[in-house]
Chain A
Amino acid sequence: MTTRKTNGALLASPLLLLLLLVFVAPVLLMVPLSLHPYEPGTGISSGWTLANYTSIVTDEYYREVVVRTLVLGFGVTLICLLMDYPLACYIANAGPKIRLALTMLVIFPMLLNLVVRSFGWIALLANRGLVNNLLIDMGLIERPIKMMFNLFGLLVGMSHIFLPFMVLMLVPAIQAVSKDVQAAAYTLAASRLRVFWSVTLPMSAPGILSGSILVFVLTISALVTPRMLGGPTYKVMATLIYDDFLQTLDWPAGAAMSFTLTLLTLVVIGLSSRMLRRWGGHA
């Protein structure tokens, strides 16, 4: 029994050690960093302060960035849900060949480099991009509409990025809805809409929640797409952290913002797993 435990420790300890040294320690060391004051010009001083955290609530600009991040999270989640539910229904009920083809077409953009996908949206949404060129050529608009560096661009681009994740969560949930219950409802003369509304939709609720949480958390933590489509001016929490650490060098403010972002994701994940447990679903 003891050799078994020794063997177990030997097998797990390399990874445990790696994560303690290269994951846990760096994150913990950011706690004191977030509690130091920063003065422009002189840099990080050795005193202690909570100002980096309180300013996230009191400072109007920081508040705007946090609210914008959350609005983006809700918006992208909602768009993904509305666009993906019909697709997921279709895939769940399709024959094996169509199901495989559609699944591959969903997975392909997901595997594609994130930078490449975001670049595709720049080519579409820029002032001299495809969409503006088309609209001008058709005579619908005189001069380009601004579709990047604002909420619209981020909503469109990030919904596209996270659509595949939602589909992959919804399809198994819809497939798991018992065909017998649906058939029973039809036998009781329920209309197709009624069956969808009273049977399919509520029974796939755990999948809807899991997919929504995943998309929401991925959206509020995303750096690449908001930076490429939002530029240096239209900031979300992740791009603010990026600038704090690489441009303004206000590391303490960036560290405090990092913990705020982490706390938000943990709260969302924690709440949802409690809800899922109450529904008897699985995360």
Chain B
Amino acid sequence: MNLENRKMPLLAAAAIAVVVFLQVPVLVVMLAAFSKTAYLTIPPRGLTFHWFDVVLRDPEYLSAAWTSVWLAGASTAAALVLGLIAAYAIHRRMLPGATALTSLFMAPLILPSVVLGVALLQYYTLTGLRGSPFGLWIAHVVITVPYVVRASLSSLAAVDESLEDAARVLGADGLTSFRLVTLPLVKPGLVAGGLFAFITSLDNVPVSVFLLSASQTTLPVKIFTSVEQGVDPSVAAVSTLLIVATGIALLLAERWTGFHKHV
């Protein structure tokens, strides 16, 4: 089929143009981070690592980054456990109303995030959870769990159920047969689902921005609010660090799980 593409140079040109267009803002941010001037210039006037120094010494950026990472890690961990066991119960038809349950578990993907954010703002104000790390954590479990449920259901569907039955015939109890037979088979899909959950939490603004206390912020919310007060190259520097981290994570994920097949 390669032949078909080679016969159509216009198609190739259009395709490459779009792929280049997709990288433009990314490259612009990375270039702007090395600018010597206090405002953004591209190409940068002079080369400096000054803004990286500013960011890495800024306690606000550091604590925001730390909050983002523990929040994403803790939400992903909880989502993986809750999502996998619920998906397992649905998949093995251990419950009535499996379709309705699946819809409910996937619903946080469909509801606009900003709507969930404001609904939780009122709810947490009423229940006294506003500004608490616990409230933020369970909110992030809700928005990340659909990715785990989806990945678990599709991975479980590919597992031959008779394998687990065979383990039981050989004397393994339910938990052991699940742990030794099913879990290793669904692991690649689960890793990809977990990565999506992690990225979703790390990326989230529309829910977090309504629930954070004044003293606590996540990295994307910090960038989001600081842009409203004006743009300087330190924002570009912190963005560049995120770009590099994302690129490395994508390459590692591709090597480990063939990530692009799970997208």
A residues adjacent to B (C-beta < 8 A): 4-5, 7-9, 11-12, 14-16, 18-19, 22-27, 29-30, 33, 83-84, 86-87, 89-91, 93-95, 100, 102-109, 111-117, 119-124, 126, 128-130, 133, 160, 163-164, 168, 179, 192, 217, 220-221, 223-224, 227-228, 232, 238, 241-242, 245-246, 251, 254-255, 258-259, 261-262, 265-266, 269
- Looking at B47-55, B158-166, B197-205, the stretch in contact with chain A turns out to be B197-205
Contacts A11-B85, A19-B105, A123-B25 given; indicate if A262 touches B111 (C-beta within 8 A).
yes
Contacts A108-B247, A113-B203 given; indicate if A238 touches B14 (C-beta within 8 A).
no
Q: How far is the CA of A59 from the CA of B82 in the complex (A)?
A: 45
Least distance between A112 CB and chain B CB atoms (Å)? 5
Least distance between A229 CB and chain B CB atoms (Å)? 10
Q: Does B34 contact A (CB under 8 A)?
A: no
Contact of A116 among B8, B41, B104, B242 (CB under 8 A): B242
Contacts A107-B260, A111-B250 given; indicate if A18 touches B141 (C-beta within 8 A).
yes
List chain B residues, Cβ under 8 A from A258: 112, 114-115, 118-119
Contact of A22 among B1, B18, B138 (CB under 8 A): B138
Say whether A116 contacts B223, CB under 8 Å: yes
Say whether B22 contacts A109, CB under 8 Å: yes
- Give the dominant DSSP class at A's interface: helix
Least distance between B189 CB and chain A CB atoms (Å)? 17
Q: Does B70 contact A (CB under 8 A)?
A: no
Q: How far is the CA of A217 from the CA of B139 in the complex (A)?
A: 22
* Interface magnitude class on chain B: 35 or more
Q: How far is the CA of A113 from the CA of B246 in the complex (A)?
A: 8
Contact of A7 among B42, B89, B121 (CB under 8 A): B89
8 shortest interchain CB distances as A-B pairs? A120-B25, A8-B94, A221-B112, A90-B15, A26-B123, A11-B89, A86-B14, A26-B119
- Give the dominant DSSP class at B's interface: helix
Question: Can you report 16 residue pairs joining A to B where beta carbons are below 8 Å apart?
Answer: A7-B94, A12-B94, A16-B104, A19-B104, A19-B105, A105-B22, A106-B22, A113-B203, A122-B227, A123-B40, A124-B28, A133-B42, A221-B112, A223-B205, A258-B112, A259-B115
Say whether B26 contacts A117, CB under 8 Å: yes
Least distance between A267 CB and chain B CB atoms (Å)? 12
List chain A residues, Cβ under 8 A from B167: none
Known contacts A7-B94, A24-B104; 7 additional CB pairs below 8 A are A18-B145, A106-B22, A107-B263, A113-B220, A117-B25, A119-B231, A223-B205
Q: How far is the CA of A119 from the CA of B40 in the complex (A)?
A: 11
Contact of B239 among A15, A103, A116, A262 (CB under 8 A): A116
Contact of A15 among B86, B113, B206, B231 (CB under 8 A): B86
Q: How far is the CA of A112 from the CA of B241 in the complex (A)?
A: 11
Q: How far is the CA of A119 from the CA of B223 in the complex (A)?
A: 9
Residues 11-35 of B at the A interface (beta carbon under 8 Å) = 11-12, 14-15, 18-19, 21-26, 28-29, 32
